Amino acid sequence: MQAHPNIPMPEPIRHIYWFAPFNLSCPSTRYRGKIPLEYLQENQRITFDFVYPARSLRGVLKFLGVFFSAIFFRKKASLIVIQKVCTNRLYANALKVLIWAHPHKTLYDIDDAEHLRTATNTLHFFLKNCAAVSVGSQALWDYCRVFNPNVFIQTSPIPYHGFRKKQRNEQLTIGWVGDFGNGNPISRAFSHKTSMYQLFFPQLLAIDHPIKLCLIGVKNPDDITEINHYFAKSPHIMLDIPEDLNWENDQWVYPKIRQFDIGIAPMVDHPFNQAKSAFKSKQYLSCGVPVIASDVGENSQFVHHKVNGFLCHTARDFAQAIRQFIEMSDEEYWRYSNSCLMGTEAYSLANYVEVFQENLLVISRKN
């Protein structure tokens, strides 16, 4: 499109200062931050500085170096991104100063309903004072739009990994990946642990069929003991709970996911979960693994009922869906599996970066 002669075209972003909320063990830090930045650097020659809060001397010095560079020597064609920082600690307050000093070409990125589990002063500051906001779901868009007119949805990506389901197991293997903890007392009502115990575990006990249950992400030894005790009287359910996991290297998890016959994503219907971006479901689907998921949050955007999985509205729906997979012929099962891969472009890394850059142009025009 040809520019109007009196309206200069916006200068494209060539450098990004990215301030993450946690280290690389956090999925959001990796999938919405570090991985897309590396892609942009390799394919678009966009350079970046990437930091997160750290107590080590090396970590503090790195933060100070990037912070002072951004506040006093900010590169001309640059973007400042504050990702999911919601606390009122030193790191967050320093970033408030940065945004106050340089409000133009700034972006706040968030993919969880942090307003439901933390104080909102810092969150609302960034929502109001950054030039634009990127979110992971429609529910977050609805919330953030009250504070900022420039909000866009950017679903968290699954980079191409090349691992695809190749063989249906003789013993039905059901898998789950995630953080099994309850979090703080506020989070208990909508935690993954609550969802599993309310929606999935009781239904699994009701199925009299040999099943292997693989739970990836149970870190607390007490939780492992509790789960083993829960299923102790059900010898037909074989538990597989791997403990040595490298969360900072994502390649290890997808070969494990493709060994599942079914991936599960139960979520209690709570406003926090309604704002989730279906990341777990997308991980399963990207491997060609059919999904049984609660019809909560963005799950229905990617899991299509009786096409690549089943959407559940009640706890009993999980048992019914599992029974359908048990009775399913190989031909029908592979139709489900192949259908899983048909929508991967919508949450690919390439699509994520394309949407990101389109919205950077919008930010540039408004600044």
Q: Which residue has the higher pLDDT, 183 or 271?
A: 271
Whether the predicted pLDDT of 126 surpasses 50: yes
- Same domain for 153 and 178, yes or no, is no
- Among residues 20, 11, 92, which one has the least CA distance to residue 49? 20
Collapsing DSSP to helix, strand or coil, 171 comes out as coil
pLDDT at residue 240, rounded to an integer: 96
- Same domain for 359 and 342, yes or no, is no
Q: What is the Cα–Cα distance from 263 to 302, expressed in whole angstroms?
A: 13
Output b/e per residue, 104-123; b: 16+ Cβ within 10 A.
Answer: ebbbbbbbbbbbbbbeeebb
pLDDT tens, position by position, 200-251: 999 999 999 999 999 999 989 999 999 999 999 999 999 999 987 776 677 8
Overall domain count for the chain: 2
Share of the chain above pLDDT 70, in %: 96
The answer to whether residue 273 sits within a structural domain is yes
Residue-number span of the structural domain to which 187 is assigned? 172-347
Q: Which of 275-289, 305-319, 352-366 has the lowest mean pLDDT?
A: 352-366
The answer to whether residue 165 sits within a structural domain is no
What tokens were used for 83?
């990702």
Share of the chain above pLDDT 90, in %: 85
How much is the average pLDDT of 86-111?
Answer: 95
pLDDT tens, position by position, 237-257: 999 999 877 766 778 899 999
- Same domain for 284 and 356, yes or no, is no
Q: Largest alpha-carbon pair distance within the chain? A: 77
Which residue(s) pair with 110 in the sheet?
135
- Same domain for 337 and 253, yes or no, is yes
pLDDT at residue 3, rounded to an integer: 42
Q: How many CA atoms lie within 13 A of 329 on its CB side?
A: 3
- Same domain for 315 and 221, yes or no, is yes
pTM: 0.93
- Same domain for 360 and 331, yes or no, is no
pLDDT at residue 10, rounded to an integer: 62
How much is the average pLDDT of 163-185?
Answer: 92
CB atoms within 10 A of CB 4: 8
Q: What is the Cα–Cα distance from 217 to 220, expressed in whole angstroms?
A: 9
Cα angle 288, 293, 297 (rounded to 5 degrees) comes to: 115
Query: Residue 119's domain is classified under what CATH number?
Result: 3.40.50.2000
